[in-house]
Amino acid sequence: MKQTFSIEKDIREIKGDETLVSFIGLVVSIDPSTYMLILDDGTGAVSVSSDTLYDMEKILRVIGNPYKEGGQVIVDSDIIQDFTDFNLDLFKKVQQIEKEAYK
């Protein structure tokens, strides 16, 4: 069985042609009629299809398949994890250090 791993990205880096991505973001909008969430990670925002509606201002980690529809990138979520107690600021600092170290 072939294993597929998600690629961790900032939302602004998601183009819609990747196989599987993961990112952490804050719920900034909810559409209960379509079960769509909009998550923002500070670099951009993306629509996420979900089986569950989450509260505004929740920090979530999403793993899913991105695609383009009408020029907009949408992530079809496979896994959504509640990261409410996650230190997002510290995570961003670590990400920045990693980017600088691997240049």
Given this model, what pLDDT does residue 88 score?
82
- Tell me the pLDDT tens digit for each residue of 38-94: 999 989 999 999 999 999 999 999 999 999 999 899 999 999 999 988 888 898 899
Q: What is the pLDDT of residues 5-44, one digit of tens each?
A: 888 999 999 999 888 999 999 999 999 999 999 999 989 9
Q: What phi and psi values does residue 92 have, to the nearest 5 degrees?
A: -65, -35
Q: Which helix (H) or strand (E) holds 96?
A: helix 88-101
What's the confidence (pLDDT) of residue 50? 95
> Measured between alpha carbons, how far is 26 from 55 in angstroms, rounded to an integer?
10
Tokens linked to 53 = 């509606």
**What pLDDT is attached to residue 3?**
59
Are residues 46 and 64 in contact, defined by beta-carbon separation less than 8 angstroms?
Answer: no
State the CB neighbour count (10 A cutoff) for residue 3.
4
Domains annotated for the chain, with CATH where assigned, are 7-101 (2.40.50.140)
**What's the pLDDT at 12?**
94
Q: Can you read off the two tokens belonging to residue 80?
A: 């959504």
Question: pTM for the whole thing?
Answer: 0.87
pLDDT at 57: 93
| Angle at CA of residue 81, ends 77 and 83, nearest 5° | 135
pLDDT number for residue 28: 97
Q: What is the DSSP letter of 92?
A: H
